[in-house]
Every structure is written in C-alpha cells, then in structure tokens.
Chain A
Amino acid sequence: MSSSRFPIPQGTLDMLILQIVSLGPAHGYGIAQRLQQISREAVQVNQGSLYPALHRLEQKGWLRAEWRQSETGREAKFYSLTAAGRKQLAVEKNSWARLAGAVQLIFNESNR
C-alpha cells in the first residue's frame, strides 16, 4: 500500500521501522526524522505511508505502543519492539542480506 510516487516497497519500510525502533523506543515523528535522513541520501519515504505502517505493525504484534511524555514535554505515542518483533527483525535482516548477496552476485557475474 505504499504510494506510487515513492518506490520504497512496503516490506522494506516495515523492516526499517523495526530496525529504528530496535535501537530504542521512538514516537512517529522521531522515526520520520530518521527516515528523512535515509530519504535525503537515497530513497524518498512518504510520510503518509509511515503511520499506516506503524499501526499495521502494532496490529501484528511486532510493535507495542504507549503514551508517554516526550522530550518537548508534551505527550506522544511511543512505539517499542516486542519479542516477536525482535524475532521478525532478525528474519527480515537475514532475508535482506541474502537478497543483497544474490543481487551482488549477479552484478559480479555480468561484469566479468
């Protein structure tokens, strides 16, 4: 369900979110800021796909959410990784690595 304007696939966005949250609980804005870094350098991430993704991950039980006081003093919804989410992240990282490796292999082949 990612917007057709930005080519990052839904699965990749999910993986990135899980990774970002694994470093520590974060609210939607914070995750967006991190994703901005990525989009500045390589790929653009639609802010509009972020929140549906967050809620989907929460529905699936990979993220847990709670309302806490943020760094500005106002209340914000913080997402953190669940045990199942941690496991899923490992699985995704694994698949990503294998995919990257396979792609690299093909590139090496064609270069030879």
Chain B
Amino acid sequence: MNWFRRKKLENNLDRELRYHFERRIQELQQSGLPEKEAYRQAMLELGGVAQIQEEVRDVWMARWVRDFVYDLRFSVRSFRKTPSFTITAILSLMLGIGATTAIYSLVDQLLLHALPVRQPDRLVLIDWKGDQVANGFGSWNLMSYPICRDLDQQKQFFEGVFCRALTIVNLSTGSDYRPATAEIVSGNYFPVLGVGPALGQVLTNDDDRRPNANPVTVISYDFWRTQLGGARDVIGRKLLVNRHPLTIIGVAASTFRGIDVGEVPSLWIPASMSAEVIPGFNDLQDRRTRWMQVLGRLNPDMTSHQAQVGLQPWFKAMLEDDMRRPGFPVITAERRQGFLESSIVVTPAPQGHSSLRRRLLEPLWVLFAVTAVLLGLACLNVSGLFLARGSARDREIGTRLALGASRGRLGRQLLTDSLLIALLGGLLGTVAAPLAVRTLIALLPSGGIATFSGSTDGTALHANVDVRLLLFALAASVAAGVLSGLAPAWQSGRRELVSSLRERGGAAFSSVRLRKVIVTAQIALTLVLVVTAALFVRTLDALMAKGPGFPTASLVSFGIDAQRSGYSEAEGNRLIRRIDETIRHSPIVQASSVARFALLTGGSWNDPMTILADKRFSTDDVNLNSVTPGFFQTMGIRLIAGRNFDDRDISAPGERDWRSAIVNEAFVKRYLGGRNPVGIRICEGSGPDAKPNTRIVGVVSNFSYRGIREDSEQAYFPFQGEGAATFYVRVRGTGPSSFRELRSIVRSVNPTLPLTNLRTVKEQVDRSLNTEHMLATLSGGFGVLALLLSLVGLYGVMSFVVTQRTREIGIRMALGAKSRSAIWLVLRDALTMVLFGVGIGLPVVWSLGRLVESQLYDVKPFDPAAAAVAVLALCSAGLGAAFLPARRASIINPTDALRAE
C-alpha cells in the first residue's frame, strides 16, 4: 500500500523538512544571527535528519517489512554481480528440489492420496485371515460375492459394503474389438462410495438382483470423452462386451477413476452379469469361490477396530454354518481346524485397493529417501558456496558490525540470501518436475492384470502439479534455504570483528574448517548414494544374467482369448489349434507352441498337489500350466528325464483327470528327492478326495514362470480343450520382423480375433524387471549427480585452501621444500576429508542396508565388493578434484608468494 507511493512520500517529506529548515534559518537571521551561525543553530535544533526520516518511514511501513525488502533487494543486487555463483547455487537446488518433488508426486498419488469420493476416511477393506478353503483367481485380499452381501447386512457397523473385481473384456463400440479393463461390482458400489453420475445414472442394487437380467453398464468419464467423443446421446446406446450387448445407463463423475490407482476401468458392470463378462464363470453365488475385494463404509461413530472386534461372533457363526452346508469340500481335519480358526480383518482403506501400490510401496520410499539425501547434498553444496562467498565479504561484514549492525540482523540478511536462492531453485525445480514425473510414470511397472492383457487403459497417475505438490515444493524450498543458510549465518556470527577489518584476506580459517566439515558430510552422503546405486545395479545385473532359463533370441509371444469373443470353450479350442497349425506351416516360423498361461507376468495358475509315492502326501502351492507337445522344444528347455507330451497324453472325452504331467527339477528335488520321478502319480488339489491319477512322464530343467527371481516347483499338463492361450513362436530372423506375418496368419483363420500382447519374449523379460530397472537407473543417476556435487565442493575448498596457504607454502619452498611436498600437502588434506567422509558414511550405509534388503537379489546390503568399489571411486574422484589445486600449489614461486599479500 504505502510501498507503491514510496517515492512520492519521500519527496514530500523532503520538501516538508526543507521548508521547516529554511523558515527557521530565516527566523534566526532576522533575529540577527549571521547566515552560517543560523544554519548551524537550525541544524542542531532539528537533530539528525536521517533519524527523522527513519522514524517517519517506520510510520509508513513496519520496520521488519522494510528490512526484509531491503535484504531482498540487496541479495538480488549482489547475486547479479556474481553470476557464476548464483547459477551454480540455483542449479544445485533446482536439481535437489525438482527430484524430490517429482518422486513426492508419485508417492502422494500412489501411497498417500485418498480417493476422490465422499469421506474417504470412513472406507475400510475387509479381508479373511486364515484358510478360506476356497478356490479363486485375482490379485490380493479376495473373498466371495455371497460374503460381501452378508456383510452388507451388518448395518450395525457399516453404512454399506460393496465388492469389486477387475477383468479384461473384449469391447466394441461399433465395428472393431479391442481389449478393455472393466470392473465387476456389486449393485451398491456407487452409492456406498458416494460417487454420482456426470450423465444419466449410476448402478444401484436393483441392477444386481437377478443373474443375467440386467445388461447395463456405466462407462467412465475418460472413456466417454475419448472413445465416444463426449456425445450427449450415449445413454441408451449399446456396447458389445464379449459379444454381449450392454446398455449404457450413465457416465461416472469426471474425477472418479475407480478405487485402484494402478488400473483404471473403462466401464462398470453389475455382478449379476459376471457370467457374460468372464466367459465360463458360473460361481457368482458360490461361497467357496474367492475373486472379489470387499470394501465398506463404516458408520459415522464406528472405528475399524471396533467393527473388526464386533464382527467376530457373526463371522464364527458363519464359519460353522458354512461347514455344514452341502457342497463344502472334503478336507483334512487339520485344515478344518485352520478354517475354524480364521478371523475377519477390517483395515482402513481411504486410498482404495491397489496391487500397484503393494508392489511399489518399498521402491518408492527408497527412491524418496534417495532424493531427500540428494537434496541434503545440494543444500550442503550451496552452503559451501555461500561460505566461499562469505569469506570474500568479510570486510563488508566487519564494517557493518563496526557501524552497529547486530549479529542477528546480519544473520537475517544471510538467511534471506539463501532463502531467495532456494525459492528460485524450487520454482525452477517445480517447473521441471512434471517432465520428470512423466518419465517416471513411463518407467513404472504396469500393475496387476494390465500385464495379463493388452489393455492400454493405464493408470490414474498423472504429471500435473496440484496444490499439495506446490505446498510440498514450497516446504522443501524453505527447508533447503534454511539449511543452506545455517552454516554461513552461524559463521558470520562468530567472526572476530577486529581481525576481519585488519587483514586484507581476513581471518577465514574458521570458515575453512566449517567448509571442510561440509565437504566431509557431502562425501559421507555421496557414499551412501553410490553404494545404494551399486547394490541396485548389481541386483539388476544378477537378474539379467540369471535370465529366464531359456534362450530368448527370436522368440515371440502373443495371447488369444476366443471365449471373450463369444466362442464356446470347444469352439475356441478348435480355433487355437487351427492357428497353431497354420503358424507351424509358415516359412518364417521355426517352431511354435501354445501354453494356457503366459510366462513372466508376475502371476500364475497355482494349486497344491497330492503325490502318491510310497506314501500319499500333499504339497504346497505348485505353479501349473498346460502346454502343447512341442512347448519345451520351442522354448529351448532341456528335457532331463522321460519324454515330452504326445498324442497318448490327450484325455479321451469324458475322462476327467489329466493322463500325464511333466514336472521340473525343483519339484523333483523338493518332493521326490532321490526317487525316479517318471511313473509317479500326482494330481491337482490337496483334499482327502483328491485322486492322484496323473502320471509323471517327464522332467524338465528349471526355468522362470512367474518372474526371474523365483525358482518355484512347476508342473505341466497337456493342453486340451481350452478356449484361451498364449502362443510362443520361435521365428526366423528378428522378432519384430515377424509381427505382421503373425497378425495376418491369425486374421486369416478368424478376422475378428484380436491378438493381445504381441511382443518378443525378451521384451517381456525386460518388462518383468521394470522395477529393478527403475531403481538401478534412478539411483545410478542420482549417485552420479551426488558424486559431481561432492567433487565441486571438494574442488572449491581445496582451491581456497591453496590460496589461503600461498604464503605458507611459499615460505616452505623458500626454505628448501620440494614442489612434491606442496602437492602432497594438498592431496593429504583432500584425502583426509574423503576418508573421514567414508568413515562416517559406511556405518550409515550398513545400518540403513536392512531397509533395502527386500529389493536386492543375490547381493547383501553389507556387500564388501560394492562398498569397496564405492570407496575406491570416491577416493580417486576426490584425488582427481584436488589435482588442479595441488598443481597450482606445486608451481608457487616463493618470491611471488612472499611479496603478494
């Protein structure tokens, strides 16, 4: 307010005072004083003009505001005079704050941000703890649909309970079919969440009453905008989902993207339609089929703990009841015990449910910690730069102190300096952050079932800068500013007044010590980052070296799901066999085979098995698949014993069990140790009524099924009667060159059947290691940056030290010391700092190592090799940085040194 009229106010005050002054002089002259006397007298009477001006200025604007503005302008002016310092400092902080903000954006969206629904803090996830005695499919925290409806009746605890499951469907809006992610939900999904429609209406319980009777769907806002052009007349239009027509009754609110941040559905379908959406699925009302996540909204005065405790009696009663129902599977007494001892668990879930979150929880926090360390490094760097600059301002500060400035005032000035740099760096960092976030999102592993499908719906993650992010960036900038300014401010407060005025260079030794401490701290932090990076790189290396266990050159895979296109299982199977035949006869194909489930997707079909050797026993979960006879040859997997599948192994129609199975080395080692596996009978399932009628006919060497890390026990059955499968084709030439041909082959058999996930197996391997790639790349990059920052700091200090000690070195040389000893002086100084830094850093690394252990493979956090490499790198880098100053010291001419001041 008064700020803008400043100039005018000053001018007027000037005029006012001058008027007063001249009138007084006139008056005094009139009373007989000579002009000079009158002038002097008037001056004395008025007192200090500057003081009057200051006091009036205090009236216009509070003192602290003026001081702050003055400090700010002073800072800006002095920064403009030293552009190299300013740019280096701003860049350092821009890097640190930008990186931290970018990672925080992901941490916030994935781990912290609540769902955009009504009162998300009242949402809870309900889960079964113990043996559920149920079969199922899906990701985590699964229960059956009937249990969900039962829980919805518990109005004492819950306002409502809904359930949901994600699945892939074949979607068509008109002509072409493409895979899309759909969410199957209970009728009360939208009402309980409190999400309304942007257009039309949402699903309600009425849509979920009778099976197959409500062919309706609600589409997502994004789908409506991008695929249907935002047309206003979508309500009532029909979509073909797996060839079944569903009527669109509404578009969901624009901010709602489902409850899983890692997978966004294009449409929501009532559970009553699940048989159409999941071909061959008839178990909606089966209490022993678990496939949905169950979430609920607590009543206003209920806590999740209270609900959990309160539900146990009802749950126990339900367990008893379930066991007595007809159709309850035959199980051992031991398992019965486990079933009855189960309990129900209620946990708060304001962020919804996400497999991606589960997968990325640790890696993201690790990355966040790494960027925080990087920010600390940047602050230390800027601190060092300030101290270097500060010692050049020694005289100025000494003069100000002598003129009466308080040390607090000076400290404030320095803090303003660093805050300004930090805020500018933070601003630039925030501007650059969205780009970094976008890159990170591209690096992220895709979550959950999106890896199973060819769906391109993606995640709900975005690179936008929202208010929370800005606030975080601001907080980080202020913290960085204060941190950077602490050392110089503290330093200036301790400076000896007289000595700083006396000497030309100033007594700056204490500031050198502080700078050395800072550099040592930087080295320590850098060590932590470099060792972390080394560990992650070694992990990635080890995993890639281990490989999937079969050669991936020219190996291509793609998926076909005929049932989603409306074919029955038998029809689908015929289609798949025809495609397999046609591919095998193509000139570009060396070998081709089919497996029911794809490899290296992070998931698998698994079940415990029963083995009948000399005695009968059951196993833990075994990874299972069914494959065509040429599978292992196509994949290049060695057959160790027995034989491959052939026509003998196809079960006759009506035969319920598989005739044969092929197991892997790990299976034999764990369960059949020593015995000849060929001929032993096994079967899927572990209940007392399981009949081991399947003979083992062969043993293959180990290879990766779910992912590169696992070495699980596996068993394979002959492929027959399935309507969906993944093809593995070894082609001639490179993988990508075959894509067009493969597509046209499939099209020639059936033009409407889409291929999903057509890619080389090598790419699939890389995708499965996405998290490891991300960690290695980012921590490696950050490690290099940290190294650079530390080196700049080290170089700066050593350079300064040489300048400071020029006289001393000159005297030594004059007294006969060789130039070698001058070099050693500098190098010894640098090495001391590096070694101290390493000495502090190593214990820190080892104590924090535990935190990253779960991310590593084949390397311990206390790995001496990684530590040794890091230490060596730091030492040699440190010596390199000190090299130039050392050279400068060695060529000091004693006479010049003594002459110069």
Listed in ascending order, the chain A residues whose CB lies under 8 Å from chain B are: 1, 3, 27-29, 32, 46-49, 51-52, 55-56, 59, 67, 70, 72, 74-77
B56 near A47 with CB under 8 A, answer: no
Residues on B with C-beta less than 8 A from A29 are: 19-20, 23-24
Residues on B with C-beta less than 8 A from A77 are: 12, 15-16, 19
Residues of B28-54 whose CB lies within 8 A of A: 45-48, 51-52
Residues of B168-222 whose CB lies within 8 A of A: none
Give which listed residue, B12, B46, B56, contacts A52 with CB less than 8 A.
B56
Among residues of A, the one whose C-beta sits closest to the C-beta of B26 is A72
Q: How far is the CA of A27 from the CA of B24 in the complex (A)?
A: 13
CB contact under 8 A between A47 and B19, given known A52-B56, A77-B12: no
B19 near A74 with CB under 8 A, answer: yes
Q: How far is the CA of A32 from the CA of B45 in the complex (A)?
A: 11
A28 near B47 with CB under 8 A, answer: no
CB distance from B47 to the nearest CB of A (A): 4
CB contact under 8 A between A51 and B17, given known A29-B24, A59-B59, A77-B12: yes
Give which listed residue, B16, B48, B59, contacts A28 with CB less than 8 A.
B16
A55 near B19 with CB under 8 A, answer: no
Residues on A with C-beta less than 8 A from B46 are: 47-48
For this complex, into which size category does the number of interface residues on chain B fall?
20 to 34
CB contact under 8 A between A47 and B47, given known A29-B23, A52-B56: yes
Residues on B with C-beta less than 8 A from A72 are: 23, 26
A-B residue pair count with CB separations less than 8 angstroms: 57
Residues on B with C-beta less than 8 A from A52 are: 52, 55-56, 58-59
Q: How far is the CA of A104 from the CA of B50 in the complex (A)?
A: 41
Residues on B with C-beta less than 8 A from A75 are: 15, 19
Residues on B with C-beta less than 8 A from A28 are: 16, 19-20
Q: What 8 pairs across the A-B complex have the smallest Cβ distances? A: A48-B47, A52-B55, A29-B20, A55-B59, A29-B23, A56-B59, A55-B56, A77-B16
B48 near A51 with CB under 8 A, answer: no
Encode B261-284 as 1/0 by CB contact (under 8 A) with A.
Answer: 000000000000000000000000
A48 near B13 with CB under 8 A, answer: no
CB distance from B10 to the nearest CB of A (A): 12
Q: How far is the CA of A49 from the CA of B20 in the complex (A)?
A: 14
Q: How far is the CA of A72 from the CA of B16 in the complex (A)?
A: 14
Give which listed residue, A1, A49, A56, A76, contacts B19 with CB less than 8 A.
A76
A48 near B12 with CB under 8 A, answer: no
Residues on A with C-beta less than 8 A from B23 are: 29, 72
Among residues of B, the one whose C-beta sits closest to the C-beta of A59 is B59
CB distance from B29 to the nearest CB of A (A): 13
Q: How far is the CA of A77 from the CA of B23 in the complex (A)?
A: 13
Q: How far is the CA of A55 from the CA of B57 in the complex (A)?
A: 9
B13 near A51 with CB under 8 A, answer: yes
Instruction: Decide if B846 is an interface residue (CB 8 Å cutoff).
Output: no
CB distance from A55 to the nearest CB of B (A): 5
Which of B13, B19, B46 is most buried by chain A, counting CB atoms within 10 A of its CB? B19
Among residues of A, the one whose C-beta sits closest to the C-beta of B21 is A29
Among residues of A, the one whose C-beta sits closest to the C-beta of B9 is A55
CB distance from A73 to the nearest CB of B (A): 12
Instruction: Decide if B60 is an interface residue (CB 8 Å cutoff).
Output: yes
Give which listed residue, B26, B45, B56, B60, contacts A51 with CB less than 8 A.
B56
CB contact under 8 A between A27 and B19, given known A48-B46, A51-B13: yes
Q: How far is the CA of A27 from the CA of B22 in the complex (A)?
A: 13
Q: How far is the CA of A47 from the CA of B44 in the complex (A)?
A: 10
Residues on A with C-beta less than 8 A from B52 are: 48, 51-52
Q: How far is the CA of A48 from the CA of B46 in the complex (A)?
A: 6
Q: How far is the CA of A78 from the CA of B56 in the complex (A)?
A: 17
Q: How far is the CA of A27 from the CA of B15 in the complex (A)?
A: 12
CB distance from A110 to the nearest CB of B (A): 38
Q: How far is the CA of A59 from the CA of B664 in the complex (A)?
A: 91
